[in-house]
């Protein structure tokens, strides 16, 4: 089902590359173009057929584009947006897929006429277009963060876009998104990084699959996660306080060797389930 004529993906990494492959697999656009600062990335994306044409320079984009997808780290999204506006039609739809929303949405909503924020809750601990998958978003949730400026037609087209990639679409405000994700995504990554830094390197070889499962996300891109942590620092600090309170509670029970408190604490966690 073709929804767009030509889509430009800025940042052809894991997410951008997977979007390109998905768009082409489900025939959501006639053409997919890509922008990357690295020629090697563009070459790989072209080889994988994630994009039809690749560019390193924004000024080379001269043809009509009806959807721009910003798939770079959050600071780069904010930095590039004023430049991108110079080279795209005024009525072009612009969507970012960054992992934090409030700062990005506040910035881009002022720059573009037809903008909407999105966050697909999908990915891998690996980065780079070489790991891109056409069905990366299948069965995942994609959060859209429309504002008072978002037109009904833009919202409906973008909802249809994600549904065609087999993602479940949820709408919420940018602020609520950042508050929820600080607990469900950003805090788990922070804890995983801290845990790995807490374990002596020589001990790691003496471990089972449980540790590997727990630490898997600690091998995510440090550069990307530094930007996510700092752009949502207020919410993340609040989430971290809740975690530290729980940690202190369990620590005291361990010091007191209070088996009943420890068991009750663990069983409380056991009862929680992903819906």
Whether residues 81 and 161 share a domain: the answer is yes
Question: What pLDDT score does 274 carry?
Answer: 77
In this predicted structure, the answer to whether residue 275 has a pLDDT above a threshold of 70 is no
Identify the domain containing residue 260 by its residue range.
176-271
Whether residues 59 and 157 share a domain: the answer is yes
Whether residues 71 and 206 share a domain: the answer is no
Query: How far, in Å, CA of 4 to CA of 93, rounded?
Result: 10
Whether residues 207 and 264 share a domain: the answer is yes
Helix (H) or strand (E) holding 93: strand 93-96
Whether residues 196 and 154 share a domain: the answer is no
Whether residues 250 and 126 share a domain: the answer is no
In this predicted structure, the answer to whether residue 58 has a pLDDT above a threshold of 90 is no
Whether residues 151 and 44 share a domain: the answer is yes
Burial class from Cβ neighbours inside 10 Å (0-12, 13-18, 19+) for residue 254 reads exposed
pTM of the shown model: 0.92
pLDDT digits (tens, 9 = 90+) for 69-91: 999 999 999 999 999 999 999 99
Q: What is the share, in percent, of the chain residues with pLDDT greater than 90?
A: 90
Q: Mind spelling out the 3-state secondary structure of 94-155? A: EEECCCCCHHHHHHHHHHCCEEEEEEECCCCCCCCHHHCCCCCCCCCEEEEECCCCCCHHHH
Lowest-confidence range among 88-92, 100-104, 122-126, 247-251? 122-126
Whether residues 133 and 232 share a domain: the answer is no
CATH number of the domain residue 57 falls in: 3.40.50.720
In this predicted structure, the answer to whether residue 61 has a pLDDT above a threshold of 90 is no
Query: How far, in Å, CA of 56 to CA of 74, rounded?
Result: 19
Domain end call among 172, 196, 216: 172
Q: Which residues of 232-253 are buried (b: 16+ CB within 10 A; e: fewer)?
A: beebbeebbeeeeeeeeeeeeb
For the chain, the domain total comes to 2
Contact between residue 157 and residue 91 where contact means Cβ atoms under 8 Å apart: no
Whether residues 244 and 213 share a domain: the answer is yes
Whether residues 92 and 206 share a domain: the answer is no
pLDDT digits (tens, 9 = 90+) for 173-218: 999 999 999 999 999 999 999 999 999 999 999 999 999 999 999 9
Of the candidates 62, 44, 47, which has an alpha carbon nearest to the alpha carbon of residue 8? 62
Whether residues 65 and 83 share a domain: the answer is yes
Whether residues 225 and 250 share a domain: the answer is yes
Grouping H, G, I as helix, E, B as strand and the rest as coil, residue 247 is: helix
Q: Confidence band (pLDDT; 50, 70, 90) for 137? A: very high
The residues with which 70 forms a beta bridge, in sequence order, are 10, 96
Lowest-confidence range among 13-22, 102-111, 214-223? 214-223
Domain end call among 172, 199, 221: 172
């Amino acid at each position: 089902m073709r929804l767009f004529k030509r889509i430009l993906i800025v940042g052809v990494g894991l997410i951008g590359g997977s979007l390109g492959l998905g768009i082409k697999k489900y025939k959501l656009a006639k053409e997919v173009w890509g922008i990357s600062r690295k020629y090697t990335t563009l070459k790989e994306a072209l080889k994988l057929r994630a994009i039809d044409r690749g560019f390193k320079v924004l000024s080379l984009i001269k043809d009509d584009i009806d959807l721009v997808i910003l798939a770079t780290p959050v600071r780069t999204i904010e930095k590039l947006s004023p430049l991108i506006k110079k080279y795209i039609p005024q009525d072009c739809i612009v969507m970012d897929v960054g992992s934090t929303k409030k700062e990005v949405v506040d910035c881009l909503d002022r720059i573009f006429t037809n903008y909407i924020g999105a966050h697909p809750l999908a990915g891998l601990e690996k980065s780079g277009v070489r790991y891109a998958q056409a069905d990366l978003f299948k069965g995942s949730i994609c959060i859209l963060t429309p504002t008072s400026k978002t037109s009904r037609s833009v919202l409906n087209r973008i909802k249809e876009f994600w549904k065609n990639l087999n993602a479940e679409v949820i709408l919420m405000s940018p602020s609520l998104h950042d508050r929820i994700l600080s607990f469900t995504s950003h805090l788990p990554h922070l804890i995983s990084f801290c845990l790995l830094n807490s374990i002596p390197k020589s001990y790691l070889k003496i471990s089972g699959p449980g540790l590997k499962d727990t630490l898997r996300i600690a091998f995510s891109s440090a550069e990307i996660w530094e930007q996510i942590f700092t752009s949502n620092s207020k919410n993340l600090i609040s989430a971290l306080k809740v975690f530290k309170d729980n940690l202190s509670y369990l620590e005291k029970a361990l010091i007191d060797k209070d088996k009943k408190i420890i068991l009750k604490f663990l069983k409380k966690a056991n009862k929680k389930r992903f819906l």
